[in-house]
Amino acid sequence: MRKFLINVNGTKYEVEVEEIDAAAAAQAPKAEPIKAASAGAGTEVRSPMPGNILQVNVNPGDVVKEGQQLMILEAMKMENEILAPCAGKIASIGVAKGSSVESGALLCTIA
Alpha-carbon span 73 to 83, nearest angstrom: 11
* The predicted structure's pLDDT at residue 17: 78
* The predicted structure's pLDDT at residue 26: 63
* Cβ atoms of 35 and 46 closer than 8 Å: yes
Domain 30-110 top-level CATH class: mainly beta
* The predicted structure's pLDDT at residue 36: 44
* The predicted structure's pLDDT at residue 47: 93
10-residue mean pLDDT series, the chain (111 residues): 77 77 62 45 89 94 94 92 93 93 93 90
Ranges of beta strands (E only) in 20-87 are: 35-38, 42-46, 51-56, 63-64, 69-75, 78-83
Alpha-carbon span 84 to 81, nearest angstrom: 10
Q: For the whole model, what pTM was predicted?
A: 0.63
